[in-house]
Chains A and B, each alone.
Chain A
Amino acid sequence: MIKLFLRKLFVFRYCCLATVFFIAFTNVFGQEGSGPVEISGKVISANQNAVLIKGATVMVAGTSTGTTTNDKGEFILRNVPRSAILRISHTGYLTKEVQVTGKELVIVLEESPAALDEVVVIGYGTSNRKEFTGAVSSVRVEDAPIANLPNMNPLELLKGNVSGLNIGATNTAGGEPSMIIRGQNSISGNNNPLIVLDGVIYMGSLNDINPNDIASFDILKDAVSAAVYGSRSANGVIAITTKKGKSGKPVIELNASSAFQRWQNKPVMMKGEEWIKTVNDRNKFKEGSTDWMKPGELDNLSKGKETVWLDETTRTGIMQDFQVAVSGAGDNVNYYLSSSYNKNNGIVKGDDFDRISLLGKINTKITKWLEIGLDGGFSKRDYSGLPANIGAAQLMSPYGVMFRDSLGNLEKWPYTQSLMNPLWGVDDGTRYNKDLRNNFRLNSYLMVNVPFIEGLSYRLNYLINQDKNQSGNFNYETYFVAEGEGIARYSPTVVQGFLTSANGNIDNNATFSYVVDNILNYKNAFGKHSINATAVATRDLLRYQQENITGSDFALNGNTILGVRGLHKATTQRIDLNNSRRANIGYLGRINYIFGNKYFLSASYRRDGASVFGANTKWGDFGAVGLAWAVSNENFLKGNEYINNLKLKVSWGQNGNQGIEPYGTLSAVANGLSGGLRYEFSNTPGRIFYGLIQSALGNANLGWETTESWNAGFEAALLKSRLFIDLDVYTSKTTDQIFVREIPVMTGFKTIRASMGQVDNKGIELTLRSVNIQKRDFSWSSMLTFWQNRNKLVRLYGEDKDGDGKEDDDIANSLFIGKSLSAIYGYEQIGIVQESDTAYMRLTGAEPGSPMYKDLDNVAGISAADRKILGFGKENFRLNLGNTFTYRNFELYALVTGIFGGNGFYQKPNTAAYLTRTDRFNDNMSSKPYWTPENKSSVYPSAYYSADGRFLGLQSRGFVRIQDISLSYSFTQPWISNRHISSLRLFLSAKNVATFTKWEGGDPETGTTVRENTFPVPSIYSAGVSIRF
């Protein structure tokens, strides 16, 4: 309680301090403004006729104060802060921001080629979206409704917003979701996209980047976009751009939100009476017998006292998010400083996380030709503490004993099984856990615009990233209390005996990485020709060092008062060291050529070397070419009323993937103390001899996984720029995929890392955006994204041993020629064996109530020949729909996401959804109408049936989810500006509001099966405020 209070006090003080600091800071830079003013003006078009624009929206930037122009293109705004910035927008024109300089303004809007005016990050530089030939999706975060959502990790901002990008669910405090672009490219290698942070490859954790500091994302999906990153580009690239200062008055921004988390659809285990009946049924015990229960359980039974263990181990989660940022820009200097604090106490007791992060960015033009910039970031993440065991909570006897005494002290062993109380060690002082992760990063650059050659510039990037993680565990002697009956097990004299077992460890690990980019760029235009050429030489290095110190047996020391800091007092001590190094070199050339603003070409070539591959396979070459045609810039479409923009594009390229970790090609040996193989001989009592084994079969020929792909698509703005369509289709072919292959164990090894023939991917990605209604007070816009990826195994080892003219499948590895990866191969279940199925029972030995399998080979009996492909683990397609409504000062955003199965796709075994029997005779289970001679179920096996390795219980994971809802209100009333507040916004938001699925157990997206020990994906409800001064 006191701890909690102190923690809260700390947060409060932290915020106060940060606020004071930033306010003081801005007073140095800031200019005094006085009261609000009334502004009037008119908006005209930039074309020759300078037409007056009616219906243009004029907003005070960062607020929802605004108006629209009248028939004469005029507007009046009252109560506008003296130094406010106005943002003027109208469909078909580029949005413009102007500083309020006087009381009468004339604003000239440029015609827009339909909202395709953004700058996109393309790797070692930027491009104008309309000139780019690849498939890039951009997500603006700054001031967008998704920024209101309670997101702890940057990736969560992207969920459902980018076609072709799969972001997984987050289910732990401070956890990181999975991410995959355009399907699975590598079977066992890394499928994570490359992260590029402010233009430089980022090898740290995304959890060290505060979502509030992000301005935008660019997701590079196709070959030509990503190929500039060569060896690490096959999984796509996510480029993150952080916020920076905007010209004008310095801005102080405060963001705060609080949220709570709930476990939606928490599993319900059997209640007491049903559990007793089931235990008797599944063990063929006498009906109604309870003599297998422990005295404590019988006592609870007689008192009618039941424990719902899942309730006891979970709570309402809390999330808090505070951020203060200061930014500004002048003619030569631009700065952005941000400081934030996040906290999350997850749904499962003990699952706690907090993070402090600081970011400072500054760049300056020193002379006309020299610019330098420096970003520094620090973040400290704290995952300390041990969460409750929700797996055990789902197994516990409902009559299990929670407390050993009347003082509320926990009983370690609640029932007859050797299963610990799920709360044991969480908060009772028997264990200690620390987990701190510190990150420092420094990203600096220097840019020289070579003075004598127009358009030639040189840029040097140098990024260093250092993670210093410290974790530690300690199990006190009190942790080891023995099973059995009676309070005597907890007496100090008995517990003291466990000093021999008391143990702990300290783990210090550090990751240091750097990236150096040398970028030479030449950009110029000659008449209708325009050229942008880039040459890059880059190197990066990642070095990991781990020191793990363990100590156990404190009997001779006498106590464990020093806890983890007394490891050096332990009788048995040990150090384990683990170092690794990974290095890459790249040389890149790229040229972008534009003719007449209609035809666009980009081509690149990269040569890459990586340390992780065998000596003969370290280098790879990757090329790409892309073409685009801006059809709407042709005379025959210019000024067309319906087609406002149309760009066709096609690209080809090669991308690589590093499918293995460092040293993955080597035949490693396990030996010495850390090797884990020990033995003794009687003539040397107490002396431990260490064994030596080869722990992996190396493969020196492992090289690049190469993906060659085609992309074709178009971008269009239609119907007076009310409807935007982006469509991409792609095919790709990946060769030499690295995967863990099962091999004959007669070699002494069950598996080897091997490379394999060819996998083809094809897919379609569609993004539709529409402005459905645009009125002065009310607007409604929608975005629909759809994507589908299919892969097909084309070639494996190129062998046809069975002589059927087709290449052989590799059944042992579930790899089938012509089929998708992740095939589920097994026995097709056709219901349940009934008492009348005597022939089947005679042939198979199955009992009534067992699953029945289909005999496919027409040879009597069920054998390996009766297997077939039952389905695939991969999804079929994804479909997401987002809607944004604004009404006066309100803005409502809602996103519905869905992952769909069908045609056998998105299946997963979920045996516990059907079984009642478990490994232990009296575990709890979810309730189900299992087969009995009276209830002849054709779905659920009998309670007595125990799984036979053939039973899969396949279920579809398809679902539709109300993913995000956000409602915000912006204050525009006069009292706001009277208090020097340039904007004030309140918002309510919710994530993961409801899920519709047939999948049983946990979350379908995480694929959590019934009774699995996986943390739930929470539903989050949040309220927050955002203020700018």
Chain B
Amino acid sequence: MKKLIYIIPVALYLLVSTGCKKDKDFLTEVPESFYTVDNAFSTSQQVDQVLVSIYSHIRDLWTNPSETGWIFNMRGNGTDLFDVASIRRGSTFNNYGSINADNGTFYEIYSTWYYVISRANLALHAAELPQIQWGSDAEKKYAVAQARFFRAFAYRNLGELFGGVPIVTKISTVPQFDFERPGRVETYQFAIDDLEAVENDLPETTTAGGRLVRAAAHHNLCELYLAMGIQLKADGKDAEATAALTKAISAASKVIDGGKYSLVKARYGSRRNEAAVSFPVYQGGVFNASAVVDTLLQPTNYYWDLFQEGNVNYQEGNTECIWATQIDYAAYRAGDSKSKLGYTRYYSADLRDGAKDHLTGTLEDVGGRGIVQIIPTMYVRDGIYADKWAADMRNSDAVFRRRFKGNVASSPYFKKDVPWDVMYNGGPDATTNTNNRSLCYPVSCKIATDKFTGIADGENRSNLFRDDYIIRLPETILLRAEAKQRNGDKAGAAADINLLRDRAQCSYKVTAADMDDAFNTILDERARELIYEEFRWNTLLRMGANIAVDRIRKYAFWPEAQATLTFQYNLWPIPQKVIETNKDVVIKQNPGWTNR
């Protein structure tokens, strides 16, 4: 009881000691364990960190490490190239009963590019802060150039997909509800101005693989002028269109004929001495030495070299890599869990389910551990290689693997190539066959390998650990071909296409007569060259007219697309949420999407 007496002075002391602080000091908020925009920037290093966040963000959009549905859609699901497998039809992007301005995919894609724009604006804002000390003028110029490149890059993507979108050039400190929507041409022009302002501040080459170089700006300028030319022509401004297309050609030529870049036409890199790739056949799909009953040999080539680990960056001897997003296995192990290419997991075939009587397991012999998040349509796996188009390095066994030896002992094709007719039509009925066809398809060397990294560390043939192209020279060539054709130079266009076909040792070379007005030849060639690389929605919507809708109706894997795509469009809808949140100014919906 008496002890309580002692508590009184102690309590009083505590009171006095805490009561000292002035009211104002007592209520002031000072964050202790995080930064705010007011104290985040004190060195030029931190300006670069904003750029790093954009590099990282763009890698997420390319490699989709979290298997996000809307990124699959952005990467081409629902176009003429890709659809969903029978077991994933809930994630279809081809059923127009549920594709409208409310669809979350549009809002997410629209938003993701504005995140890039706002971060680029933050970097530009931070670069000019008085307290930032730069090591050299060039260092600052390069930082600003990268930021403006990213901003232009985002506007190009938005312009191609959604048409004209509001131009934002400053960081936001207060919310704004009155964004005005300019035309598509103005949007492209803004991006062009950004790129032209900084093209000379970007270095021709860098030691750091993954950093932006000047050719990336030229490639984008080509695409932007091409896109602008298409839109101007659609608007009836033929003369301006021609001028734009001419600028597109000249921007591309700076890359193609500039001397820094050339198509790879000889073996190079880490595996140049391997004449063939060898896949063990694991009986029953079991991973151990005694289960290996056979091997499948496939002769390799220089096109295959382009997609091997350690061969992607320009710094590694790859003369067609203009810009690649960076994957680093050591960093992956050290905590950057997004530094991986999950392509084998989500792009590769599911032969173990689609052809289970003959093929099983998830090992190299069946193309790794594919879970068929999106699948190539019949057009892109077979259609573009029909008949005279078949002889093509890009259709060779090592590059576009069509040979799989049976590994199920009871199969008549045990240790023999399983014929595609058996995979496609071996089921008891048409429905089963269609489903199996959605699970069984050729496996590109861009999405799987014979040598998976990290097996000893517990990796399970889901991920590749190579860098991945964002811009590769052949796409620049294809853009120039399209610009030439649109400018009336079909022979020039054919010649450009043949640059790629020569390199791929194709037996058939295109002629001016092949360059049809629906751009089928260019789109087919893009599919052959750029499958799993191209952003097909951007291409189709950039081209305008009815190209997207016509091709989706023609090539979609499942019948819903044809049944439900009962209207015309050549731009995605402006997301309903964007229209509604921008409440002070009306943003007009794109054609085809009103009353849907």
Taking Cβ atoms with an 8 Å cutoff, the residues of A that contact B are 283-286, 289, 291-292, 333, 362, 364, 366, 372, 374, 416, 418, 444, 446, 460, 462, 477, 480, 482-486, 488, 497-501, 514, 516, 539, 541, 552-553, 555, 571-572, 574, 577-581, 583-585, 609-612, 615, 618, 662-663, 665-671, 673, 677-694, 697-699, 741-750, 752, 754, 799, 801, 808, 810-812, 842, 844-847, 850, 859-865, 917-922, 946-950
Contact = CB atoms under 8 A, between A and B. Distances in A.
B457 A678 contact: no
A686 B334 contact: yes
B73 interface: no
Nearest to B15: A516
Given A444-B11, A480-B458, A574-B335, A681 B18 contact: no
A989 B65 CA distance: 53
Contacts of A499: 458
B421 interface: no
A681 B210 contact: yes
Given A364-B4, A679-B56, A686-B328, A692 B111 contact: no
Contact of A745 (B89, B104, B111, B286): B111
B524 interface: no
A605 B427 CA distance: 82
A292 B46 CA distance: 52
Contacts of A685: 328, 330
B46 A692 contact: yes
Contact of A677 (B19, B53, B579): B53
Given A847-B564, A860-B595, A861-B596, A460 B50 contact: no
B362 A484 contact: yes
Given A289-B432, A585-B27, A745-B111, A671 B49 contact: yes
B175 A744 contact: yes
Given A681-B209, A946-B98, A748 B114 contact: yes
Q: Please give me the 3 A-B residue pairs with the lowest Cβ-Cβ distance, nearest first.
A: A748-B118, A691-B53, A682-B209
A61 to B, nearest CB: 28
Given A688-B334, A847-B97, 10 more contacts: A483-B460, A500-B457, A578-B33, A667-B38, A682-B315, A741-B175, A746-B578, A748-B168, A921-B86, A949-B102
A374 B4 contact: yes
Contact of B171 (A289, A485, A748, A920): A748
Contacts of A555: 457
B7 interface: yes
Given A285-B432, A418-B371, A671 B40 contact: yes
A585 B23 contact: yes
Interface of B: 1, 4-5, 7-8, 11-12, 14-15, 18-19, 23, 26-29, 31-38, 40, 46, 49-50, 52-57, 59, 86-92, 95-98, 100-104, 107, 110-111, 114-115, 117-119, 121-122, 165-166, 168, 171-177, 179, 207-211, 285-288, 313, 315-316, 326-328, 330-331, 333-336, 338-339, 353, 356, 360-362, 369, 371, 427-429, 431-432, 435, 455-458, 460, 467, 560, 563-567, 576-584, 594-596
A847 B33 CA distance: 54
B595 A679 contact: no
Given A539-B18, A681-B211, A692-B46, A862 B432 contact: no
Contacts of B19: 516, 539
10 contacts: A283-B87, A285-B431, A364-B4, A372-B4, A418-B371, A609-B23, A683-B208, A692-B46, A694-B122, A699-B174
Given A374-B4, A618-B27, A745 B578 contact: yes
A611 B90 CA distance: 48
Contacts of A669: 34-37, 40
Contact of B36 (A477, A666, A677): A666
A752 B175 CA distance: 8
A570 to B, nearest CB: 11
A847 to B, nearest CB: 6
Contacts of A673: 335
A415 to B, nearest CB: 12
A681 B326 contact: yes
A676 to B, nearest CB: 9
Listed residue (A372, A669, A922) with the most chain B CB atoms within 10 angstroms of its CB: A669
Given A462-B14, A685-B330, A864 B101 contact: yes
A865 B595 contact: yes
Contact of A850 (B55, B97, B117, B335): B97
A685 B315 CA distance: 13
Contact of A286 (B52, B117, B428, B596): B428
Given A612-B29, A666-B29, A946 B596 contact: no
Nearest to A857: B595
A462 B12 CA distance: 9
A685 B117 CA distance: 28
Contacts of B172: 697, 747-749
A864 B460 CA distance: 45
A801 B50 CA distance: 37
B49 A292 contact: no
Contacts of A571: 333-334
A693 B87 contact: no
Contact of B49 (A500, A690, A808, A950): A690
Given A286-B428, A692-B49, A679 B333 contact: no
A920 B195 CA distance: 44
Contacts of A697: 172-175
Contacts of A948: 97-98, 103
A446 B8 contact: yes
Contacts of B56: 677-679, 691
Given A284-B431, A374-B7, A693-B50, A364 B1 contact: yes
A744 B333 contact: no
A677 B52 contact: yes
A679 B59 contact: yes
Contacts of A292: 87, 353, 435
A493 to B, nearest CB: 10
B334 A744 contact: no
Listed residue (A579, A693, A699, A861) with the most chain B CB atoms within 10 angstroms of its CB: A693
Given A485-B285, A742-B581, A949-B103, A500 B458 contact: yes
A688 B336 contact: yes
B26 A583 contact: yes
Contacts of B5: 366
B497 to A, nearest CB: 31
A860 B595 CA distance: 7
Contacts of B565: 845
A946 B87 CA distance: 13
A663 B27 contact: no
Contact of A692 (B52, B175, B288, B431): B52
A864 B593 CA distance: 10
Contacts of B50: 691-693
A285 B86 contact: yes
Contacts of A618: 27
A324 to B, nearest CB: 22
B184 to A, nearest CB: 16
Nearest to A694: B37
A479 to B, nearest CB: 11
B334 A572 contact: yes
Contacts of B26: 539, 541, 583, 585, 609, 611
Contact of A687 (B38, B87, B331): B331
Given A364-B1, A686-B331, A460 B11 contact: yes
A671 B460 CA distance: 31
